Amino acid sequence: GAGVSQSPSNKVTEKGKDVELRCDPISGHTALYWYRQSLGQGLEFLIYFQGNSAPDKSGLPSDRFSAERTGGSVSTLTIQRTQQEDSAVYLCASSLVDEIYNEQFFGPGTRLTVL
Amino acid sequence: EDKVVQSPLSLVVHEGDTVTLNCSYEVTNFRSLLWYKQEKKAPTFLFMLTSSGIEKKSGRLSSILDKKELSSILNITATQTGDSAIYLCAVPKGEYGNKLVFGAGTILRVKS
């Protein structure tokens, strides 16, 4: 498996529940990104990890959203007390190095539906 | 505020037609512009255009960057049903260019 993988592929949850979304980046990629894509809209940047540096959380829409990256590899995006407006496809991407050309490779995403 | 605008929002053509998709951008400290194709969930990389590489071509797809007009076009010639997808345009922003700002995309449907 050379690509970015994400799990689950689909998640249906009830309003108010917490969810965890997982991302396995391409091996050796030091940069990892989370995006959100709502219906009919482009991708919205959420958070960025680069090596051991503090993550850039500037895109997180509220304090219900958090993410961590363990061991510089796998990342988990957690949404607490989910709301219906959180329904979207959550995409993870990774890149080899943090360089200006920024070619990011995307995973297949997790489709989150909050009832 | 950095932003990317794509047009048209959607397009329906017949196989064999040629299409041109547009992308305009406003970003502080331009570095590059990227085109992605999104068929189901995962966007796949098509092209990256920079000041030193303003024109790219791959098979029936080609793209040009116009830095003066702050825009780019993506051309697809002799379209096929497999070209049906959402085409996304993005530019890096932020101090290190680590965040991508995406346009809303153009939904292309190629009818047989």
Q: pLDDT tens digit string along A34-80? A: 999 988 778 999 999 988 888 889 899 999 999 999 887 899 999 99
Please calculate the CA angle B111-A38-B25 and round it to the nearest 5 degrees: 80
E strands present in chain A: 5-7, 10-13, 19-24, 31-37, 43-50, 65-69, 75-79, 88-95, 105-106, 110-114
CB contact set of A39 (below 8 Å; sequence gap of 6+): A88
Helices (H), B1-112: none
Name the maximum alpha-carbon separation found in chain B: 45
- Mean pLDDT value across residues B20-33: 92
C-alpha to C-alpha distance for A81 and A86, rounded to whole angstroms = 10
pLDDT score recorded for residue A76: 97
Inter-chain CB proximity B44 and A40 less than 8 Å: no
Q: Which residues pair with A64 in a beta bridge?
A: none
Q: Which residues pair with B55 in a beta bridge?
A: B64
* B97 has a pLDDT exceeding 80: no
Residue B34, chain A, CB below 8 Å: the answer is: yes
Inter-chain CB proximity B45 and A41 less than 8 Å: no
pLDDT score recorded for residue A44: 92
Residue B2, chain A, CB below 8 Å: the answer is: no
